[in-house]
A and B are shown apart, each in its own frame.
Chain A
Amino acid sequence: MGTAPASRDVTSYGMGLAAPLALFFLFFFVAPLVQLFWLSLHNDTAGLHWGLGQYIHFLTDPFSLSVLGSTLLLGAEVTAVCLVLGFPIAWLYQRVGPRLQTIIILIVLLPLLTSVVVRTFAWIVILGRQGIINATLQSLGIIDTPLKLLYTQFGVVIALAQVQMPLMILPLITALGRIDSNLDDASCSLGAGSWRTFFRVVLPLSLPGVIAGCTLTYAAAITAFITQSLVGGGQMLFMPMYLYQQASTLQNWPFASAISIIFLLAVLAVVSVFTTLGRLSRGYGGA
């Protein structure tokens, strides 16, 4: 390594350094997805007969469509719960001193880095027939027989909300931290109350964070295979488990490929809707 020629920009590195990762992605990320798409366009397992049979099968099958629908709905419910519960945490974070801030951020971060199986397992303990909720309600005499909480939509939504909450809170904290607190004071001194200031000033200005948080939470919630299957049980089927059953148990790779592609497109559609909203909201927030 001699000294660099004076004409060369010393503050940046050549694109060649990205080549190893680019090649790695080409072979092990892009190629598999292309192969997945290719196989989904075949009517037989061997991949000899071209056709849209797999897609037609999915899109005309009420069962498949209901699985897709309930997965997308689940994502929306989890995202809504995360937003309603997560926003006050981000709000509180901006109002407290540095010591409490560290405590809040660590409480939020820990679940994010704890194993998903562990977090889900905790919900089985809480929601089960002998779990905390049933034990408490029974000892208080509110119920006689244990409530069915595990293997219900309610259980899945609440467990997923807890598991994915950090993904909502982190962007919200970032967004709220960027809002000029003078705007808050200005709104109040001009006669708007706290609630009004919140809904008319703080919430609109934090929209980029809300949208970033919703995107991450939604994408994570609908693909959260472990939590869906353990808390949902056998009766509730969502797209990831449907895909896994078709691929692994039934060895129907072309149909599993088509499910994957449809699922991928659904995720991409949701992400791009959120991204577009994000772009619009940045224009709004900057105004």
Chain B
Amino acid sequence: MAGRKRTLEAFSFELVMTLVAIIALILIIAPSLVVLIVSFTSGFSLRFPPPGYSLRWYAELWDAWQLHFAAKNSLIVALWATGLSVVLGVAAALAISRSQALSARLLDSLFMSPLVLPALAFGLAALMLFSLVGLPVSPLTLVIGHTVVCVPYVVRNTVAALAQLEPTLLESSAVLGASRLYTFRRIVLPLIRPGIIAGAFIAFMSSFDNVPVSLFLRDAATDMLPIRMWQDLEGKLDVTIAALSSVLIIATVVLVAVMERVTGLSRRLTN
């Protein structure tokens, strides 16, 4: 009797947990699916389900030069910001990863702080400083601003990869007569490369998607894609944005799949 009560109780627990989990998973994935479906509508509105299906909004997207221009700007800024983040971030990660010194801990907190501080406040602060020193808003100011908010991802992932590195490997390499640079190139770099790539990937995605910093550091000549989309959505609900969103969703799915292969991305984010 007691055993039966126990199984019923265990069953109720597992049922509730599993059901909530499934509902939550659907909640997470549904919006992307809805956008994908709506983007193929033949109608003029975002009505769901669509009255019919067509590729007309993808044709519209093909001709939307303003979105192309903004996408190109976003891509260029994201590539520069990622490159700069990798150079600065990997060097800094090498310095602070194995050090127990207080200075290393403080630098670590400093480099991570853009992740928690409201980025909008930083965007405003950066704009005020640039205008104070007379540096006009340009792609350069955008790259600088984006690097500040993207470099933490590179530092964090590189530090995590370095923490997994066996110190004895470096010692053996040195004992066998390899220079530090040679050891770095032939031993350290190959072992931490997946961590660096994972960090660079997240940095790139967050730069490409950045709004709060770009909002203050761009002008009409440096229109950025997420801001262009946001302003289009504020004005009217354009189905072209649904087509563009679908393209971005598919691109993200492909990139995540590639990154999962190359770097084991999901393992890195849950450890």
Say whether B79 faces chain A, with CB atoms less than 8 Å apart. no
- Are the C-beta atoms of A162 and B28 separated by less than 8 Å? yes
Say whether B144 faces chain A, with CB atoms less than 8 Å apart. yes
Say whether B57 faces chain A, with CB atoms less than 8 Å apart. no
* Interchain CA distance A89-B24 in the complex, whole Å: 7
Contact of A113 among B47, B91, B103, B256 (CB under 8 A): B256
Smallest CB separation, A224 vs chain B (Å) = 9
Smallest CB separation, A201 vs chain B (Å) = 13
- Are the C-beta atoms of B270 and A173 separated by less than 8 Å? yes
B212 contacts across to A, CB distance below 8 A = 223, 225, 240
B6 contacts across to A, CB distance below 8 A = 193
Binary flags per residue of A1-37, CB closer than 8 Å to B gives 1, else 0:
1111000001111111110111011001111110110
Contact of A31 among B95, B129, B151, B260 (CB under 8 A): B129
Smallest CB separation, A266 vs chain B (Å) = 9
Residue of B174, B178, B270 ringed by the most chain A CB atoms within 10 A: B270
| Nearest-CB residue, chain B, relative to A243 | B120
A interface, by DSSP: helix, strand, loop or mixed? Answer: helix
Contact of A244 among B145, B174, B215 (CB under 8 A): B215
A247 contacts across to B, CB distance below 8 A = 124, 216
Smallest CB separation, B52 vs chain A (Å) = 15
- Are the C-beta atoms of A4 and B179 separated by less than 8 Å? yes
Contact of B125 among A33, A120, A124 (CB under 8 A): A33
A121 contacts across to B, CB distance below 8 A = 35, 229, 233, 241-242, 245
Supposing A31-B129, A194-B10 touch, asked if A117 and B120 sit within 8 A by C-beta, the answer is no
Contact of B256 among A15, A106, A128, A268 (CB under 8 A): A106
Binary flags per residue of A44-75, CB closer than 8 Å to B gives 1, else 0:
00000000000000000000000000000000
Say whether A78 faces chain B, with CB atoms less than 8 Å apart. no
- Are the C-beta atoms of A267 and B116 separated by less than 8 Å? yes
* Interchain CA distance A104-B113 in the complex, whole Å: 30
Total contacts A to B, CB within 8 angstroms? 295
Smallest CB separation, B38 vs chain A (Å) = 6
Smallest CB separation, A231 vs chain B (Å) = 10
Binary flags per residue of A114-149, CB closer than 8 Å to B gives 1, else 0:
111111111111101011100100000000000000
A261 contacts across to B, CB distance below 8 A = 121
* A interface residue count range (under 10 / 10 to 19 / 20 to 34 / 35 or more): 35 or more
- Are the C-beta atoms of B25 and A109 separated by less than 8 Å? no
- Are the C-beta atoms of A29 and B245 separated by less than 8 Å? no
Total count of chain B residues near the partner, CB < 8 A: 106
* Interchain CA distance A268-B121 in the complex, whole Å: 13
A126 contacts across to B, CB distance below 8 A = 30-31, 34, 48
- Are the C-beta atoms of A267 and B249 separated by less than 8 Å? no
B92 contacts across to A, CB distance below 8 A = 17-18, 20-22
- Are the C-beta atoms of A130 and B45 separated by less than 8 Å? yes
Say whether A230 faces chain B, with CB atoms less than 8 Å apart. yes
Smallest CB separation, B241 vs chain A (Å) = 6
* Interchain CA distance A126-B209 in the complex, whole Å: 22
- Are the C-beta atoms of B179 and A21 separated by less than 8 Å? no
- Are the C-beta atoms of A109 and B230 separated by less than 8 Å? no
Say whether B94 faces chain A, with CB atoms less than 8 Å apart. yes
Say whether B252 faces chain A, with CB atoms less than 8 Å apart. yes
Contact of A117 among B110, B147, B230 (CB under 8 A): B230
- Are the C-beta atoms of B124 and A28 separated by less than 8 Å? no
* Interchain CA distance A218-B98 in the complex, whole Å: 31
What are 17 A-B contacts defined by CB distance under 8 Å? Answer: A3-B177, A13-B95, A13-B98, A17-B91, A18-B107, A20-B92, A22-B107, A25-B111, A28-B126, A31-B129, A85-B27, A110-B253, A117-B233, A194-B9, A194-B14, A264-B117, A264-B121
A15-B104, A88-B20 known, 11 other contacts, Cβ within 8 Å: A17-B92, A18-B91, A117-B211, A122-B245, A128-B46, A128-B237, A130-B48, A193-B9, A195-B13, A226-B211, A257-B128
